[in-house]
């Protein structure tokens, strides 16, 4: 039993070391201010690397098309991870006041909550298997590129991360 009590904390630390666990806070700035609705309207392209604990990196490509449905941003995405077949998902986000947003995501098991602070768009939602996702998206100078870090946790420990560059394309 004593050996198990030692192995559990060591295993947790090892797991946590396998994936980046924090936002890219050094990118946070008061300007340019991000307007997530304006950024994701029209066509976007994301190019990233998915890292799952105890696995290698997987290239990830995301093609998006955003449109308005009343006061709600509807973002349809086609996601390609490595050699797997492409999947689709849909985000629906609406402003709830003072830089806050709420909505849904087909991959989420509960509500999506988000807020804006300067150039940062911070998004949170629960996922299958008792995991939680948190994203920090930072609008870069020029206004056409966002740097995205997503971290997925289980029991508070990071189990996966995505580092992605998202580009707003001319419609």
- Of the candidates 169, 154, 160, 157, the one whose C-alpha atom is nearest the C-alpha of residue 64 is 169
The stretches of the chain forming alpha helices (DSSP H) are 2-17, 36-40
The domains located in the chain, with CATH, are 2-169 (2.40.128.20)
Per-residue pLDDT of the chain (171 residues; tens, 9 = 90+): 444 344 344 344 444 445 555 667 788 999 999 999 999 999 999 999 999 998 889 999 999 999 999 999 999 999 999 999 999 999 999 999 999 999 999 999 999 999 999 999 999 999 999 999 999 999 999 999 999 999 999 999 999 999 999 999 976
The sign of the CA dihedral 24, 25, 30, 35 is positive
Q: Do residues 149 and 136 make contact, with C-beta atoms less than 8 angstroms apart?
A: yes
Q: 6: number of CA atoms within 13 Å, CB side? A: 3
| Per-residue model confidence (pLDDT) at position 21 | 54
Q: What is the pLDDT of residue 170?
A: 76
């Amino acid at each position: 039993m004593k050996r198990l009590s030692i192995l559990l904390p060591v295993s947790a630390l090892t797991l946590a070391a396998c994936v980046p666990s924090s936002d890219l806070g050094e990118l946070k700035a008061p300007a340019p201010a991000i307007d997530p609705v304006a950024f994701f309207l029209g066509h976007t392209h994301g190019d990233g690397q998915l890292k799952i604990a105890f696995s290698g990196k997987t290239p990830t490509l995301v093609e998006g098309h955003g449109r308005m449905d009343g006061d709600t941003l509807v973002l349809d995405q086609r996601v390609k991870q490595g050699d797997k077949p492409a999947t689709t998902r849909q985000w629906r986000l609406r402003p709830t006041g003072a830089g806050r947003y709420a909505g849904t995501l087909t991959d989420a098991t509960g509500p999506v909550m988000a807020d804006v602070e300067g150039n940062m768009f911070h998004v949170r939602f629960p996922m299958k298997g008792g995991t939680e996702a948190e994203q920090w998206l930072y609008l870069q100078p020029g206004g056409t590129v966002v740097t995205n870090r997503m971290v997925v946790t289980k029991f508070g420990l990071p189990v996966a991360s995505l580092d992605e560059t998202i580009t707003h394309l001319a419609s």
